[in-house]
Amino acid sequence: MKITAIETYLMQVGGPGEAKSTASAGHYEGGNFGGSRNWLFVRILTDEGIHGVGECSGWPRVIETAVKDLTPLLIGEDPAHIDRLWHKLLASMMGHGMLGTVGGGALTGIEMALWDIKGKALGQPVWNLLGGKFRDRVRVYGHAHDTNKADRLLALGYTGIKVGFTGTVDLDLVASIRDHIGRKVDLMVDAHGPSWMTTQDAIAVGRELESLDLLFYEDPVAPEDLDALARVRDAVNVPLAAGERVSTIWGIQPYIERGLVDVIQPDTGRAGGITQMRKMAAMAEGHYITLAPHSGSLGPVAEFAALHVMATIPNALMLERLEFDWEGRDDVITPTLKVVDGHMKVPDAPGLGVDIVIEEILKYPSRRNVREISPDDGTAYALGTAHEVPYFQTRFERRQKLRIHR
């Protein structure tokens, strides 16, 4: 079997409750993407009529160019040799500098599609090619920023809920959701920026969260500042989680080997691929660290890939899920995934068990893939500073926020 072509399908993603024909982005349970959310799907064709699909995330509109640049290196290759082809592409990019989001996203979508081809060619689901299953279904968690959304998740059987913030963590809100859902439901807090908290603010917030029995405290400081993460780790008695912005085993390595987190969160669309996710999981397993893949902005194909990975590793924690996503999400793939009793069933069809619906994707051409910051944004930035767009900042309002136990 030989690779004959690689196709890319880029689309703009719309907001919940909006007409699908507009595909305008808006607020999702995972956050506000400010009109910037795109999905990029990859389809690899072969001379035997078998095709595979994958998904690239990170910066989809730019990654599409990367995939097209890499395509000539794969034409005529046997798609069965997945890891060798991955390393061939990795080596081809190194002259441009260290691998980043764009390279990681391109490698991920391509490698995912190669696994899909291999599974279809052998008549086996990807999880079986990875060594078989630990579990038939994967536990998921959802996002809630108020008690009403939490109730909707609980009605679907969710037993894990995350409250996310861009900017100051509203401790009163977290406490109210914890009181509302009780202690039998796992609660998580995501403090992702920008603007990021300073180390001392992250520690102060973390200490206030200690009594709320969190499953984890996610991204308390900027991802580049691993020393700050280490200081938070030493000062706060709450499990920590991070890693959604890095690619490959080399990107996640310091989080694991320095013992900075209890949970790694590689993004299934930009971590480097299914093989890299498995290697990350193995590294984490050796340090008694669990894995809970990021899925905050991903489309539906990467979700299928995540299920295959999570089914095959012993240290799977939970999978992030945008339960209340854009209404067109289920239209661009077949079949679709559903949550039952807080879990998603691992697919049994050959390959990934999913295909893209091209005619639906083409209805939503990409317009923009970067977020526009509003000068009036009082959520991500301290009052009156949004026009400065600081990457990190001290929380002047911290004293009045940190009062839930005083």
Cβ contacts of residue 181 below 8 Å, gap of 6+? 150, 154, 161, 187
Tokens of 61: 């509109």
Say if 29 falls within a structural domain: yes
Say if 348 falls within a structural domain: yes
Cβ contacts of residue 103 below 8 Å, gap of 6+? 66, 90, 93, 96, 247
Q: Are residues 178 and 193 in the same domain?
A: yes
Measured distance CA(302)–CA(277) in Å, rounded:
12
Say if 400 falls within a structural domain: no
Domain with 9 in it: 3-123
Structural domain ending residue among the three candidates 90, 123, 156: 123
Measured distance CA(320)–CA(139) in Å, rounded:
9
Q: Are residues 328 and 254 in the same domain?
A: yes
Q: Which of 277, 286, 278 is nearest to 259 (CA)?
A: 286
Say if 170 falls within a structural domain: yes
> pLDDT tens for residues 261-298?
999 999 999 999 999 999 999 999 999 999 999 998 89
Say if 246 falls within a structural domain: yes
pLDDT below 70 — which residues of the chain?
A: 15-32, 34, 396-406
Strands 38-46 and 27-28: unpaired
- Per the CB < 8 A criterion, the answer to whether 40 and 60 are in contact is yes
Structural domain ending residue among the three candidates 70, 90, 123: 123
Say if 106 falls within a structural domain: yes
Please state, rounded to an integer, the average pLDDT across all residues of the chain.
92
> pLDDT tens for residues 151-205?
999 999 999 999 999 878 999 999 999 999 999 999 999 998 899 999 999 999 9
Give the distance between the most distant pair of CA atoms in the chain: 69
Q: Are residues 327 and 302 in the same domain?
A: yes
User: How many domains are contained in the chain?
Assistant: 2
Say if 377 falls within a structural domain: no
Q: Are residues 139 and 230 in the same domain?
A: yes
Measured distance CA(170)–CA(221) in Å, rounded:
16
Cβ contacts of residue 98 below 8 Å, gap of 6+? none
- Per the CB < 8 A criterion, the answer to whether 293 and 305 are in contact is no
Q: Are residues 211 and 113 in the same domain?
A: no
Q: Are residues 140 and 113 in the same domain?
A: no
Structural domain ending residue among the three candidates 98, 123, 148: 123
Q: Are residues 191 and 316 in the same domain?
A: yes
Domain at 160, CATH number: 3.20.20.120
Predicted TM-score (pTM) of the model is 0.94
Give residue 405's pLDDT. 47
Cβ contacts of residue 56 below 8 Å, gap of 6+? 40, 41, 42, 63, 64, 67, 105, 106, 108, 109, 110, 269, 270
Catalytic positions, please?
192, 294
CA angle 58, 61, 62 (to 5 degrees): 75
Q: Are residues 245 and 301 in the same domain?
A: yes
Give me the torsion for CA of 43, 46, 52, 54, rounded to 10°: -40
Q: Are residues 99 and 167 in the same domain?
A: no
Q: Are residues 195 and 312 in the same domain?
A: yes
Say if 396 falls within a structural domain: no
- Per the CB < 8 A criterion, the answer to whether 300 and 354 are in contact is yes
Q: Which of 255, 275, 250 is nearest to 265 (CA)?
A: 255
Q: Are residues 302 and 156 in the same domain?
A: yes
Q: Are residues 99 and 182 in the same domain?
A: no
Tokens of 204: 């102060």
H or E element, residue 87: helix 82-93
Question: Long-range contact list for 178-184, CB < 8 A, 24+ apart?
Answer: 178/212, 178/213, 180/147, 180/150, 181/150, 181/154, 183/213, 184/159
